[in-house]
C-alpha cells in the first residue's frame, strides 16, 4: 500500500507547471487528486488521464481562486464529488504580473486582484478545509512563496506580489502553531527561478545543464519542488511544520535584480 493511499489532495493551478508536477508526485504516493485550472482545460483533462493511469482517482475543476465565489465552488465540487473532506491542500496558484512596475503604476483593481489571489484567497481556502482536517486529526497545507520571502526584504517593482507573499509567511507560521494539536502541518515552499519548460522537467532532464545566472549551478526543475512537497505530505513528516523552505539552488531574485542594475 502506498503511503498516501486514500488521501484526497486539492492543488490549485495544477494543469501545468509546478502544480502539475506536484499532482503527479502525490499520485505516485497514492493520492486521489483534484486538478484546478482557469483557462487550460485541455491540459487539465490530459493530466487527469495521466493521474488515472497511476491508478488513482482524479477530477479537473475550473475555478479562478482569486474570486471568492469560484474558490468556494472549487472546494464544494471536490468534496461533493468524493463525498469526503480534503486531506492535502496545495495552494500553488497565484496571479503574478511579469512586467516590472513601480507601485504607483498599479491600478486599485490590480492591487486587489494580486492581494486576493496571493494571500486572501489562500487564507479562505485554508479556512474551508481546516475543519475537515481537524475532524480527521490529519492534514497537510502547502503555501507557495518566492525565494528569501521569509526575510521580508523589499522587492522593487514587485511591491504588491511581494507584500502578499510576505504576509503569507506570517500566516504560514501562525497557522502551523494553531493547528499542530489537530494533526495538521502547514509549510511554505519558495521555488527559485525555474523557467518555462523546466517547470515540467525531471531532475535528470536538467542534470548536466548550467544556469546562465548561477555559474556552476544546474537549472531548477519541477521535480525539485514536487519532491519536497511530496515529502512534507508523508505521514512521517508530521514533526515538520511552520517552515519556509527555499528550493532555489541559492538563487536570490532580489539580489540578482540589484546586481543586474549595477552592471548596467
pLDDT in tens, 6-22: 999 999 999 999 999 99
pLDDT of 36: 98
Identify the CATH assignment for 8-263 out of 3.40.1190.20, 2.130.10.10, 3.40.50.720, 3.30.43.10: 3.40.50.720
What integer is the mean pLDDT of 127-140?
A: 98
Cell, residue 186: 502547514
DSSP at 193: -
35 beta partners: 11, 60
Nearest to 173 by CA among 93, 242, 102, 227: 242
Mean pLDDT of 54-80: 97
The pLDDT of residue 128 is 97
- The average pLDDT across 76-95 equals 97
Q: At what angle do helices 121-136 and 159-179 cross, to 10 degrees?
A: 20
Rounded mean pLDDT of 236-257?
86
pLDDT score at 21: 98
DSSP 116: I
CB atoms within 10 A of CB 67: 16
Average pLDDT over residues 194-217: 84
- What pLDDT sits at residue 195? 85
Alpha-carbon gap, residue 124 to 137, rounded angstroms: 20
Kindly report the number of other CB atoms within 10 A of residue 236's CB atom. 8
Q: What whole-number distance in Å separates Cα of residue 122 and Cα of residue 16? A: 19
Lowest mean pLDDT among 11-25, 84-98, 211-225, 231-245: 211-225
Q: Residue 255: which pLDDT band, with cuts at 50, 70 and 90?
A: low
Per-residue pLDDT, 67: 93
Whole-number pLDDT of residue 262: 45
Predicted local distance difference test score (pLDDT) of residue 213: 67
Radius of gyration of the chain (CA): 18
- Strand pairing category for 8-11 and 32-37: parallel
pLDDT above 60 for 257: no
Summary mean pLDDT of the chain:
93
Give domain limits for the chain: 8-263
Q: What pTM does this model have?
A: 0.93
Who wins on pLDDT, 139 or 261? 139
Confirm if 145 and 188 have CB atoms less than 8 A apart.
yes
Mean local confidence (pLDDT), 213-219: 75
Q: Among residues 236, 191, 254, which one has the least CA distance to residue 22? A: 191
Q: State how far the Cα of 97 lies from the Cα of 181, in Å rounded to an integer.
A: 38
C-alpha cell at 143: 503555501
Amino acid at each position: 500500500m502506498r503511503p498516501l493511499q486514500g488521501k484526497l489532495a486539492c492543488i490549485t493551478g495544477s494543469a501545468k507547471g509546478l502544480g502539475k508536477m506536484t499532482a503527479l508526485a502525490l499520485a505516485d504516493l497514492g493520492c486521489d487528486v483534484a486538478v484546478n485550472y482557469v483557462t487550460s482545460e485541455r491540459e487539465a483533462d490530459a493530466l487527469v488521464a495521466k493521474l488515472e493511469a497511476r491508478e488513482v482517482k482524479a477530477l479537473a475543476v475550473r475555478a479562478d481562486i482569486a474570486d471568492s465565489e469560484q474558490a468556494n465552488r472549487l472546494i464544494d465540487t471536490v468534496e461533493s464529488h468524493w463525498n469526503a473532506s480534503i486531506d492535502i491542500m496545495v495552494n500553488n496558484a497565484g496571479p503574478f504580473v511579469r512586467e516590472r512596475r513601480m507601485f504607483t503604476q498599479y491600478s486599485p483593481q490590480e492591487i486587489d486582484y494580486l492581494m486576493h489571489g496571493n494571500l486572501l484567497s489562500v487564507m479562505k481556502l485554508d479556512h474551508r478545509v481546516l475543519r475537515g482536517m481537524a475532524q480527521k486529526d490529519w492534514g497537510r497545507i502547502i503555501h507557495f512563496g518566492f525565494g528569501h520571502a521569509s526575510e521580508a526584504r523589499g522587492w522593487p517593482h514587485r511591491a504588491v506580489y511581494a507584500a502578499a507573499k510576505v504576509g503569507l509567511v506570517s500566516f504560514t507560521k501562525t497557522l502551523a502553531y494553531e493547528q499542530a494539536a489537530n494533526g495538521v502541518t502547514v509549510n511554505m515552499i519558495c521555488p527559485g527561478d525555474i523557467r518555462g519548460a523546466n517547470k515540467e522537467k525531471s531532475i535528470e532532464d536538467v542534470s548536466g545543464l548550467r544556469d546562465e545566472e548561477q555559474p556552476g549551478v544546474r537549472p531548477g526543475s519541477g521535480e525539485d519542488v514536487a519532491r519536497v512537497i511530496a515529502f512534507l505530505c508523508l505521514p512521517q513528516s508530521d514533526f515538520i511544520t511552520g517552515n519556509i523552505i527555499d528550493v532555489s539552488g541559492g538563487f536570490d531574485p532580489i539580489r540578482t535584480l540589484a546586481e543586474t542594475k549595477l552592471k548596467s
